[in-house]
Structure 1
Amino acid sequence: MTTISMTFRKQAASLQPQLVAMRRELHRFPELSNEEYETTSRIRAWLTEAGIRLLDLNLPTGVLAEVKGARPGPTILLRADIDALPVNEETGLPFASEQPGKMHACGHDFHTVSMIGAAKLLQEHADELDGTVRILFQPAEELAIGARAAIEARVLEGVAAVFGMHNKPELPVGTVGIRMGPLMASVDRFEIEVLGKGGHAGIPDAAIDPIVICSAIVGALQTLVSRNVSPHHSAVVSVCKLQSGSTWNVIPDSGVLEGTVRTFQPEARRAIPERMKRIVESVADGYGAQARLTWTSMLPAVNNDERMAEIMQVTATAQGLHIVEAVPTMGGEDFALYQERVPGCFVWMGTGGTEQWHHPKFTLNEDALAIGASFFAEAAVQALKSVR
């Protein structure tokens, strides 16, 4: 372990009580996407108190900070997300959410405070840095719109590389999951409107039942994965909403299906919409009905650059952390939008929790806070040395 790595670990350990207090304050007062006004105010105050320069983000919520080294060099970006979820907390913790129906059920409070800790450590060693580290506290990740807004606000201007993380409850504290290539899936949304013919429930032959057709479409869509996507690719098609009818004895005129498609490979993502359209329209036509598909492309896959992943492996080794191969997930992350523009790496940080993301009893081990702070301070140093 290098001298600066040991220093980061020791200094982060001394910051641990502060980090825990910050995290618990954010946890008590969660705010939903694009409503993170008090969260933004708290982050700004904590960074200002530490003497860290704040840049004009030009967004209603979110914070962009900067630690400038004593010598010229590249600019890299560390990113954390700050929004909470519309979940009613059931942990029973003494610092549980005080906002009914709102909770940090995905651990973004952990991400935020870890990056504040990293910023504090880097500020202490600014005279040893060759370049600039920006730290972005991004709003609205849960709506998959925050990264796009931040990019439009020019946070990537002059940036050579970007790094981020998500907590991973099933990994022990002190473990980091790193993977080259795809880590989180692309995210697309679809809506299918089926137009049938309403009628009396006792005279179905005079109607064209959209509920029967919607059910047939749900079954047929499963062939997208089993028969329309290469077995060498990964894809998930989930129908998550089926809405039709208003009473027990009337066949309705129409029905609506909504869902999502997740893939890792761009070629699979490009192929699915047209194949879905063909299946949907042909099934409806077979019943004498019509169907309209609306496809909304939302996010590409999180795809880790090989060189940036190597930097994260060097970082984890320097910090004495246990490295495992990160297991990909079909969950999505708008961090992918940064990676479309600059090389980057997204990692799993072990937090030893009891429940998965978005669960009302989601918890994490706060011992991971100092580890996350030290890890990303180290990652910044390693990146500034390696990225040109």
Structure 2
Amino acid sequence: MEANGSGTIVNAEQIERKIVDIRRHLHQYPELSHEEFETTAYIRKLLEDAGIRIAAQYTLKTGLIAEVGGLQGGPVIALRADIDALPIQEDTGLPFASRIPGKMHACGHDFHTAVILGAAFLLKEKEHELPGTVRLVFQPAEEKAAGAEKVLRSGALEGVRAIYGMHNKPDLPVGTIGIRPGPLMAAADGFLVELEGIGSHAAVPEASVDPVVAAAHLVTALQSIVSRNVSPLESAVISVTRLNTGTTWNVIPETAVLDGTVRTFDEEVRTRVVERFGEVVNGVAAAYGTKANLRWIQGPPPVNNDADLAEAARRTAERLGIAVVTPKPSPAGEDFAFYQKRIPGFFAFIGTSGPKEWHHPAFDVDERALFISASYFAELASAELKRFASEL
């Protein structure tokens, strides 16, 4: 990486070229959640080569924390990027496609990482002007909804005034940013239900307690929670995505297993759905003589944007000439929400004109969005530090 005498990157044009190269390198070498060792080392070297200090006091097994600014004291804000990939075989045909069989950056975390690195490089160029500190959070394990809590346990958000993050959005055009106060992404919970019955020959079902029949009725009954316990003005999704039972055609099995996901945008609705879920599972199981074992897998809460931060984000976008839209909330989950439980946070959707949705083998982003996004987050961080410093 070319640098001037102080070790920092020289100009915006170099940064633009550099972050395209960074994104392509990361795309070729994806690492799954909790395995991001080479990715972490690569990010560390880029930051060190740019003269950006690593905040080594915040210990993470994978991922890292760095800082720009702080030369004048002042407030601390954070920018977050997630760095992990998915267990998907890539089918893009890109010249820089994944070199790791069965692993792919199919959710664009390579894009996110390159953007926040670009923002860091831009902020480093004017570090002496910053009236505070920008803490850079390169977070592992977002796809497992486990990385944010690791960052929180490290203490990296102690004393941080606000945190800012993003996700690429394939259905928004390049040059567009989706800004929405309040709920933006859903709480993403999971469930596993095991129904225990009594097996028998299929020709003598009266000798059994059939878990297959119970499971079939349970799939239908669970849908009544959304239709009859959640207001039409609210939102919830219950999807049974797997039903596993039996081994052959003429035997009634002893067990049936169902699992799936529940998505909600409001904590009160989330609590109500969880309560009714257990009641419906136990009621259906009892009605058909089976025993139910329910395991609830609590995921991240809803991404809920602070209204004041969202308005500040809108002002920055308009100042830079970036088109602002109000996106529909996404039923996908994001563990950025754990940060928002601790401190005010803002999460944006960045237009990338993608050909396919997240988690598709042919997922890609339009790289023109890289520098637009890096410039936006550098400007947003600088403006927010000034705003918070003026309130001290």
**The TM-score by the shorter chain falls in which range?**
over 0.9
User: Is residue 266 of structure 1 aligned with residue 256 of structure 2?
Assistant: no
Shift, 1:71, TM fit: 2.2
Letter in 1 for 2:100: Q
Which residue identity does 1:17 align to in structure 2? R
**TM-score using structure 1 length:** 0.96
> 2:191 corresponds to which residue?
190
**Alpha-carbon separation, structure 2, partners of 1:364 and 1:269:** 33
SS of structure 2 residue aligned to 1:159: coil
Structure 2 match to 1:52: 52
Superposition pairs for residues 205-224 of structure 1, below 5 Å?
A: 205-224=206-225
Give the Cα separation in 1 of the matches to 2:155 and 2:35: 21
1:150 aligns to what?
A: 151
Q: How far apart in 1 are the matches of 2:86 and 2:161?
A: 31
Deviation at 1:232, TM superposition (A): 2.0
Name the stretch that deviates more: 66-75 or 120-129.
Answer: 66-75
Residue matched to 1:338? 339
* Counterpart position of 1:43: 43
Equivalences for 1:291-302 in 2 at 5 Å?
291-302=292-303
Aligned partner letter, 1:152: R
- Separation (CA, whole Å) in 2 of partners of 1:17 and 1:247: 59
Partner of 2:90: 89
Identity between Structure 1 and Structure 2 (%) = 54
Aligned mates of 1:240, 1:231 — CA distance in 2: 24
Deviations 1:178-215 (A, max 9, x none): 00000000111111111111000111121111111111
User: Which SS does the other structure have where 2:364 is aligned?
Assistant: coil
Distance 1:286 1:243 in 2: 20
Determine whether 1:377 maps to 2:378: yes
User: How big is each residue's C-alpha offset from its partner over 1:159-195, in whole Å with a ceiling of 9 and x where there is no partner?
Assistant: 0000000000111111000000000001111111111
Which region of structure 1 is more displaced relative to structure 2, 280-289 or 348-357?
A: 280-289
**1:246 Cα deviation from its structure 2 partner:** 1.6
Q: Distance in 2 between matches of 1:300 and 1:54?
A: 30
Under a length normalisation based on structure 2, what TM-score does the superposition of the two structures give?
0.95
Which amino acid in structure 2 is aligned with residue 251 of structure 1? I
Structure 1: segments with no counterpart, 5+ residues: 1-9
| Distance (Å, rounded) in 1 between the aligned partners of 2:12 and 2:94 | 25
Structure 1 counterpart SS, 2:376: helix
Residue 22 (1) aligns with residue 30 (2): no
Letter in 2 for 1:51: G
SS class of match (1:73): coil
More off after superposition, 227-236 vs 329-338: 227-236
User: How far off is 1:70 after superposition?
Assistant: 3.5
Residues 161, 342 of structure 1: 8 Å contact kept: yes
Q: What CA deviation, in whole Å up to 9, does each residue of 1:106-128 have, x standing for no partner?
A: 00000000000000000110111
User: Which amino acid letter does the alignment assign opposite residue 190 of structure 1?
Assistant: F
- AA of the residue aligned to 1:166: H
Contact residue 15 and residue 121 of structure 2 kept, 8 A: no
Contact 2:223 2:238 in 1 (8 A): yes
- How many Å separate the matches in 2 of 1:166 and 1:290? 42
Q: Give the aligned residue type for 1:358.
A: H
Match of 1:112 in 2: 113
What's the secondary structure of 2:80's corresponding residue? strand
Distance in 2 of aligned mates of 1:326 and 1:63: 31
Aligned length: 379
Q: Matches of residues 119-130 of structure 1 in structure 2 within 5 Å?
A: 119-130=120-131
Deviates more, 1:93-102 or 1:198-207: 198-207
Cα distance in 2 for residues equivalent to 1:233 and 1:327 = 14
Deviation at residue 290 of structure 1 after TM alignment: 1.8
In structure 2, give the amino acid aligned to 1:132.
T
Query: Which deviates more, 99-108 or 377-386?
Result: 377-386
Residue 357 (1) aligns with residue 358 (2): yes
Report the residue type matching 2:38 in the other structure. Answer: E
SS of corresponding position for 1:218: helix
Shift of 1:316: 0.5
1: CA distance, partners of 2:379 / 2:328: 23
Partner Cα separation in structure 1 for residue 170 and residue 14 of structure 2: 24
Distance, in Å, in 2 between the alignment partners of 1:136 and 1:227 is 42
Q: Distance in 2 between matches of 1:273 and 1:177?
A: 30
- Output the aligned Cα RMSD: 1.2
Structure 1 runs, 4 residues or longer, greater than 2 Å off: 10-14, 69-72
Corresponding residue of 1:237? 238
Instruction: Tell me how far apart the structure 1 counterparts of residues 193 and 387 of structure 2 sit (CA, whole Å).
Output: 48
Asked if structure 2 preserves the Cα contact closer than 8 Å seen for 1:12 and 1:371, the reply is no
Cα shift at 1:11: 4.6
Contact in 2 for aligned 1:64/1:136 (Cα 8 Å): yes
What's the CA shift for 1:144?
0.2
1:48 maps to amino acid = E
Shift of 1:14: 3.9
Match of 1:329 in 2: 330
Corresponding residue for 2:313?
312
How far is the alpha carbon of 1:13 from its aligned partner? 4.2
One-letter amino acid matched to 2:15:
L
* Mapped partners of 1:352, 1:298: distance in 2: 29
Amino acid at match of 2:252: I
- What amino acid sits opposite 2:248 in the alignment? T
Q: Which amino acid aligns with 1:116?
A: L
Q: In structure 1, how many angstroms separate the alpha carbons of the residues matched to 2:190 and 2:104?
A: 25
The residue aligned with 1:5 is none
Q: Match of 2:137, SS? A: strand
Q: Does the 8 Å CA contact 1:12/1:374 hold for their aligned counterparts?
A: no
Does the CA-based 8 Å contact 2:185-2:333 persist in structure 1?
yes
Structure 2 CA distance for aligned equivalents of residues 371 and 302 of structure 1: 24
Q: Which amino acid aligns with 2:49?
A: E
Give the residue type in structure 2 aligned to 1:195.
E
Per-residue deviation, 1:95? 0.3
Q: Which amino acid aligns with 2:65?
A: L
Per-residue CA deviations over 1:261-316 (Å, capped at 9, x if unaligned) read 11011111111122111111111211122212221222110000001101110111
